Amino acid sequence: MICGGLQLHSEDRNAATNPTVLVEVLSKGTEAYDRGEKWSHYRKLPSLREYVLVSSQRIAVEVFRRGLDGETMPDAVTA
């Protein structure tokens, strides 16, 4: 989800740089990357308010939220 105008990455025209919510559906093959390197990049995006991980293997949903004051997103908050 993006609020306002779409901003694209200068080197990757398929990548938005201003998402407010990102949802990842985890698989065995991508879970480590989604929770590690990808999450490390996502949490640096100032526009990102929520990162949602959906696991079909554990039948679970995790929601990582940035506080209203713009604080850094925590490493782990499960809802």
From CA 21, how far away is CA 34, in angstroms rounded? Answer: 15
Which sequence spans correspond to the domains of the chain? Answer: 22-65
pLDDT at 73 (0 to 100): 64
pLDDT digit string (tens) for 37-65?
998 888 888 889 899 999 878 778 888 88
Of 72, 78, 17, give the one whose Cα is nearest residue 47.
Answer: 17
Q: pTM for this one?
A: 0.75
50 against 69, higher pLDDT? 50
pLDDT at 17 (0 to 100): 82
